[in-house]
A and B are shown apart, each in its own frame.
Chain A
């Protein structure tokens, strides 16, 4: 079965540069979530989209922005990168906003961002 596809899998950027991560949800999934996971930490919710509209916002820095496109893929744009942004970024998808609807959230393999 098709899974959540993320690209690139690994990315190295210098401080103050910009990075863009892409996420292709499971076919027919209309909800996308972005999570950031630092070394040894739990995944932190950044932002989510349902039917191309932002549905919830978590601990996403103002330097980051994201959107969901008409084909439901999503991109996370990160500007003015800082050393502390180095982390594993997961995209996840579900049908109709999983949480309280009870639909399962599936995670992609993640994108490793290293800021040097």
Chain B
């Protein structure tokens, strides 16, 4: 089955700096890669996603890149703000439609 590895597990940056989170996946059949932001005790919220026919997607300060050959994808957050502090999960769309999540990255943005 699908296996998703996510790094780093924790990330601390200064406000205004960029943050990068990387994920790799194992199932070459996966072709949907969303990123979720989760605040403590709340539901995961979709922040951006990418399909396998696209190599890069950007939405304001957030961008995601996908390398299908290498089976890895990354989340880039620019000009980080304290409210970006949360746990970020990458996920890969399984062959049956379910999502397999990475272990999460706790991002802390220091003012």
| Residues in chain A within 8 A of chain B (CB atoms) | 31, 33, 41-45, 48, 50, 55-56, 58, 88, 90, 94, 96-102, 104-110
Contact B96 A98 (CB under 8 A): no
Contact B104 A42 (CB under 8 A): yes
Contact B98 A99 (CB under 8 A): yes
Known A100-B29, A100-B93; contact A45-B99, beta-carbon cutoff 8 A? yes
Taking the closest CB of chain A, its distance from the CB of B69, in whole angstroms, is 18
Interface size class of B (residues with CB under 8 A): 20 to 34
A109 to B46, CA, bound (A): 13
Return chain B residues, CB-CB under 8 Å to A58.
98
Interface stretch of the complex, out of B14-22, B37-45, B60-68, B73-81: B37-45
Return chain B residues, CB-CB under 8 Å to A88.
41
Which of B42, B46, B94 contacts A104, CB < 8 Å?
A: B46
Known A48-B97, A56-B97; contact A100-B43, beta-carbon cutoff 8 A? no
Contact B32 A98 (CB under 8 A): yes
Contact B95 A99 (CB under 8 A): yes
A44 to B97, CA, bound (A): 14
Known A43-B101, A109-B42, A110-B43; contact A100-B31, beta-carbon cutoff 8 A? yes
Whether B72 is near chain A, meaning CB under 8 Å from some CB there, is: no
Return chain B residues, CB-CB under 8 Å to A55.
96-98
Known A100-B29, A102-B31, A102-B32; contact A50-B97, beta-carbon cutoff 8 A? yes
Contact A45 B49 (CB under 8 A): no
Contact A109 B43 (CB under 8 A): yes
A-B contact sample (7 more), CB < 8 A, given A90-B44, A109-B42: A45-B100, A45-B101, A56-B97, A99-B94, A100-B93, A100-B94, A102-B51
Taking the closest CB of chain A, its distance from the CB of B44, in whole angstroms, is 5
Whether B108 is near chain A, meaning CB under 8 Å from some CB there, is: no
Contact B34 A48 (CB under 8 A): no
Taking the closest CB of chain A, its distance from the CB of B75, in whole angstroms, is 15
**For residue B51, which residue of chain A has the nearest CB?**
A102
